[in-house]
Structure 1
C-alpha cells in the first residue's frame, strides 16, 4: 500500500517531466520555415559542390537552402510565399566589376551618344537641346567615339571633327561632350572662349589640346587637357546650391539603380567617388534607400586624402548595401583618344607613345597610403607600358607586407599587355579587373593603333591571363559602355561584334562557365565579398537573376536576345519584366 501510494504521488512529476522533454525535443526538431521558396527553376549556382538545382528557399535577406523541389518544399510554412520559376534559367545576380555609378546616372539625364553613328547626329542632338536651353546654360553630353562612326567628317584631325558646326548650332550655350572613354572631351567655341583658350594656350603635362597644322584648336581636349575646360564648368557648378547639386545627383542615382536592376545587376563596384559622394551613399544606405549593393573606391589625390583615410574602410553599411574598401588611381588614359601609355609608338601616330596622366611618384604615394590604411589599391592602366609600370609599383609595395599577395590589389582594365607581364598577375596576386565588352567595342581600331602583332599577343588577353592563373573579372565601365552585362558576356565567349560580325583574335575566348564566374564569384572575390555574394549557397545573400535563356547552353546568337525576367536582391523582387 505504501509503495503504491508513493508511486501514485510520483506520477504527476513523471508526466510533467515527460511533457517538458517532449516539448524540448519537438522544438529541437522543428524545421526552419522559409519566407519565400522558388520552385521549378533551371538554377546554375556557381557553387562547385552543388552546381545545379531546382529550387531556392529564402529567409530574410539570405538563402536558407538550395536543392530539389522536394527538399525545398519541406521548408514551406503556412505563411511562405511560393514562386514558380517555370523552368527559367536562374543564376547569381550580375556584379558590375567596374563602372561609375553616378556617371551612369548623369548619362541617363544628359545627352547620350553611345549609339550615335555620325558627327551629324551629335550636332543635331545638341541643336535640339539648344532650342530649349536658357542662354548661358551648359549643355552636357557623353558617349561619342570618332572611331565608331560610319563616316569620318571631311574636315578632321586624327579623325576628330572641327568644332565649327557644333558652335554654329549652340552660339549662346557652352557645350561639353565627353568622349565615350571619358578621356577626352569636345567643346564648342562658347566653352573655349569662357576657358580662355587661344593659340598660345599650352597643352598641359599628360594631356593635349588637339590642333591642326595651322595651330588652331579644333575643340578636342585629350586627357589632362580636359581640365582647361572642366575648370570653367566646375566654377559654374560652384554657383549652384548644395541642395540643388545633391538633388540632381540623387535624381541620377535613382535612374542608375533602376537601369541596373532592369539589367539583372544586383551589385555594382563603383570605380571612384569623391568624399562628398561617399557620404551621400552612406546616408542612402543607412536610410534603406539603396536597392543595388555598392562597393566604392575613393578617388582623390594623395594630398586631398591626407588625414582623411582614418575613417575607412566602411564595410557592409546599411545591411550589406554599401562598402568603401579601395582607393582608385590611374597611370594613363584610353586607347581611342591616344591616351594609352605604350612601350612603343602608336601605329597610326608616329613617335607618340601615349600619356602618363598621373605622375608615377604620385601613384607610388597613393600605393603607400593604401597599404598603410589596409585598403585595396585599384589602378587604371590601359597601355602595355602603363600596365608594366603599375605592376612594378605594386610589386615594390606588396613586398613590404608579409601578406602582400593576399591584399587583392587590382589593375583596372589591364587591356593591352606585354606577354612577359601576363604571369606577373598570378605571381603578385594582382587582379585583372577587365571589361570584355571593350574588346568588341574597340575592335575596329585596335589593330590600327597597335599593329597586328601587339594586338594579337596582348590585347584583351583574358584567355592568356586565366591560363596563367590570374583572377579575371568582368564589367562594362559604364557609362563608357552600356551597363548591360549580356553584351559583355557575349564578347567574353565569342570575341565577335554583333553588328559587323568582326571577330577579334578568337583564341582569347573563354568558356560560358568562365564568363559567368567572371561576372559573379570573381567580382565577389575581387572585393573580399565571396562569403556573401557570387554564388547561390546556404547562408549567402539572396541576390539572383531570372533570365529567358540558359547562358550555359543557348546558341551564341541567342545570348544578346536574352531578357531579364526578374531581379531579386536580398530576397526581395526589385525588378519584374512586364
Structure 2
C-alpha cells in the first residue's frame, strides 16, 4: 500500500473516532432532569413546535420538549418519571384579569345565584339567617335586579331579617342591598352624600332617605363602619382560598387587576392594604408556598387622589417587588360602573334612560394617568364598559405612543365599542382582555343589552373581541374576573368554552349571543389563556408556552381540548398543575404523585387523580 493511502486511511479513522468521541461527550454532558413527563399529547402553544410527547424539567426550567424516545437521554435513577398515558399537557394557564388576593370576603354568607324571583331571594336569605342565629351580620351575594323584578329595598329585606344588620352583594359585587339595621350600622342616612351622583350613589326614597341599595361601591365606608371588615383575617383567608382554587383550575399566573378592599376610595388606608398584600405574598414566596405568579396592578378609582402621589407610590412598590414571582406590574384605572346599571359613560344615550352615563375619573384624568404612568415604565389597564370611556382611553394610548412610550396598555372588558374606535383598536393593535361569560345571555345580560342599548348597537358595538385574534399581531386574553364571576367559574377552560360558543357554559339552554358575532377558534382561545396574557404581563419570554428555557409552568388535563365537543370544554378536569417545576395541585395525593418518590427509570408512573371540586351545573 502506498504511504499516502495509509496516511489517508489513518486520517479518516481519526476523524471518525473524533466524531464518535464528540457525540459521546455531548451525550455524557446532557443534563439529567428532575422530572420527566412522557407519552402525552402536549400542545406547546409554540408555533415552531406545536405538539410534543414528552417534557423534561430541571429545577424550575424546561430542559427538553420532544419525543418520548428522545427524552430518555435526560433520565437516570433519580429522575421522577410520570407517564401521561395520552393525557393532554398545556402551558400553565395565565389570567389576564382576576382579583384573587383579597376578594373572597365578598362571598360570605348565602349564595343567591339559584334564585329565580323575589320570593326565592327572600326565602333563601330568611332560611340562612335562621340557620345562623349567632352571626352578627347576615351576609349574602348573587342577587340580580332583573330576576328580583326591580331594585330591592331595605323594607323588603327587613321582612326576613329584622333582628340584626344584613348586607347582601349583588351578582356583580358592585352594588349592595342593606336592611334597615344594616343602614343604621353603616351610618347611612338621608344626609349621606353620593360619591359620584348618577354613578356611585345611594338609591333613595322620595323624601331622600336611603331606599336600601348602594350602587357602584358607595357602600364601602358603611361596610367598614358596621364592623364587617377585618383585613388581616379576611385578606389572609381570601388569598389562601382563591390561590388554592386557582391552582386546581390550572392557573399558574395572574394579573391581579386591583386589590379589592373596603378602603379602595381612602388612599392612606388603601396604601396600607397594598403593602400588607405584598408582604403576605412575599412571605409565602420566601417559604416556597406561593402558588401563583402574581403581577398586581394598583387600582385608581377615586379621582380626588393626586396622580403624582399615586404614581410615585406605585413606583416605590415596583422598586421593592419586581420579580418573576411577585411584581407591582402597573396601574388599573376603574373610571365607571357597569353599563347595565346605566353607570358607564357612553357616546350616545342609553335606550332606557335619558342619560349617557357618568365617569368617575374623566377624560383628562385618563390622559394624565396614562402619560405619567407610562413615562415611569408602568403599563396602564383600564376598565372600559362604555363607548365614551373606550374612546377616551384609546386617545390616551395614542397620545402616549406619540411620545415614544413603548407600553403595553390594555383595554379591560371591551363591552361596548363604537365601530370607528374598534377599527382604531385593530389598526393600533391595542391589547384587550374580556370575560366571555359577561357577553353571553348569563344573568339576563342579553335582555339587558337590547333594553339598554337597542338592537343596532347590540349588533354593531357589543363584544367585538372575537374579531381581534384573526388580525395578525393582535393580543387578546380571556378570563373570569372573579369576584364579578362566581369563584366556581374561575377555570380558564370555562372562559374558553364561552369564547368559542358565545354561550353560557352553565346553561344547556343558552343561545349564542350576540347574534352578529362569530365565535373564536379553539386555537386562539387557548392562546388567550396562555401566551397572550403572558405577553400582557411582560412575561411571554418566560411563560405562556412550553419551550426549552422557559419556566416549568404546566397543566395536565384529563381530556384533550381539541377532541371534546365545544360545549364540553368547561367540563374538562385538571389532573395536575405545576408552577416553577413544583406541583401546586394534584388531583390525587397518591404515592405515584409524591414529590419525594424517586422511581426507577424502567418503571414510569401513571398520573394519579382525585376530585377537582369544580361545578359547572352543565349536563350533556
Q: Deviations over 1:84-123 (max 9, x none)?
A: 1110121112211101113443245544444444444443
- Corresponding residue for residue 338 of structure 2: 334
Picking from 361, 364, 367, the partner of 2:364 is: 361
- Shift, 1:171, TM fit: 2.2
CA distance in 1, matches of 2:169, 2:154: 14
Q: Deviations over 1:427-479 (max 9, x none)?
A: 44531121222112333422222111111112111233334553211101111
| Aligned: 1:219 with 2:209 | no
| Aligned: 1:345 with 2:364 | no
Q: Secondary structure at the match of 1:545?
A: strand
- Shift, 1:25, TM fit: 8.0
Structure 2 counterparts to residues 24-173 of structure 1, below 5 A: 26=25, 29-107=28-106, 109-131=108-130, 137-147=136-146, 149=147, 152-153=148-149, 159-173=150-164
Picking from 516, 522, 532, the partner of 1:512 is: 522
Q: Deviations over 1:276-303 (max 9, x none)?
A: 3233323332332211221110124543
- Corresponding residue for residue 184 of structure 2: 193
CA distance in 2, matches of 1:523, 1:344: 32
Alpha carbons of 1:310 and 1:266: their partners in 2 closer, same or farther (altered >3 Å)?
A: closer
| Aligned: 1:268 with 2:258 | no
- Corresponding residue for residue 409 of structure 2: 409
- Corresponding residue for residue 473 of structure 1: 477
CA distance in 2, matches of 1:179, 1:119: 13
| Aligned: 1:535 with 2:545 | yes
CA distance in 1, matches of 2:222, 2:207: 26
- Shift, 1:236, TM fit: 4.4
Alpha carbons of 1:507 and 1:78: their partners in 2 closer, same or farther (altered >3 Å)?
A: same
Question: In 1, are the aligned partners of 2:102 and 2:236 still within 8 Å (CA)?
Answer: no
Q: Secondary structure at the match of 2:74?
A: coil
- Corresponding residue for residue 14 of structure 1: none
Which consecutive unaligned segments of at least 5 residues does structure 1 have? 1-21, 154-158
- Shift, 1:520, TM fit: 0.6
TM-score, normalising length from structure 2? 0.80
- Corresponding residue for residue 235 of structure 1: 225
TM-score, normalising length from structure 1? 0.86
- Shift, 1:132, TM fit: 6.5
| Aligned: 1:484 with 2:491 | yes
- Corresponding residue for residue 424 of structure 1: 424
| Aligned: 1:282 with 2:316 | no
Which consecutive unaligned segments of at least 5 residues does structure 2 have? 1-20, 260-272, 588-609, 611-620
Q: Which moved more, 1:44-53 or 1:468-477?
A: 468-477
CA distance in 1, matches of 2:60, 2:528: 24
Number of aligned residues: 539
- Shift, 1:416, TM fit: 1.0
CA distance in 1, matches of 2:312, 2:384: 27
Q: Which moved more, 1:497-506 or 1:58-67?
A: 497-506
Picking from 387, 393, 412, the partner of 1:390 is: 393
- Shift, 1:164, TM fit: 2.2
Q: Secondary structure at the match of 1:451?
A: helix
